[in-house]
Amino acid sequence: MSNEKLLTVREVSLLLSISEKEVIDLAETGIIPAYKVGGVYLRFKREQVLGYQKTLRPFTAKVESVSNSPLQDKISDFFYFNDFYILSAGLIVLLLVIILGS
């Protein structure tokens, strides 16, 4: 068995200069081979990610010119990764208004 370190989603996103959401989407579609550790955590082999990076370079230049603003991407990622907490906070506030408003 090899002692190579598998990369996390964050490490792959930094290596490819794309968002973590895009890395997860690429893994789910099978474009980048991913491995589940413990049935939950996605991990990637460095060689496979670098192989994908070589095919990504010509495509990235086109995407960057059409891409939305970085602020909009950050906001989108924030809501993507925190939607449960935002919804839960809203529900708690609604329940407090109902309970204390009576």
Three-state SS for 102?
coil
> How would DSSP label each residue in 3-65?
-PPPBPHHHHHHHHTS-HHHHHHHHHHTSS--EEETTTEEEB-HHHHHHHHHHHHHHHHHHHH
pLDDT at 63: 46
Q: Please report, for the domain that includes residue 40, its CATH number.
A: 1.10.1660.10
Q: Examine the pLDDT at 4 and tell me if it is beyond 90.
A: no
The more confident residue out of 70 and 85 is 85
With vertex at residue 14, the alpha carbon angle to CA 10 and CA 17, rounded to the nearest 5 degrees, is 130
Q: How many CB atoms lie within 10 A of CB 84?
A: 8
**Residue range 77-102: mean pLDDT, rounded:** 91
Query: Model confidence over 16-72: pLDDT tens digits?
Result: 889 999 988 988 888 888 888 887 778 999 998 888 888 876 554 444 444 557 888
Distance of CA 95 to the CA centre of its chain: 32
Question: 50 and 74 share a domain?
Answer: no
Question: 63 and 74 share a domain?
Answer: no
Q: What confidence tier does 90 reach under pLDDT thresholds 50, 70, 90?
A: very high
Q: Examine the pLDDT at 87 and tell me if it is beyond 90.
A: yes
* Total number of domains in the chain: 2
pLDDT at 30: 87
Question: 7 and 44 share a domain?
Answer: yes
Question: 74 and 57 share a domain?
Answer: no
Question: 101 and 73 share a domain?
Answer: yes
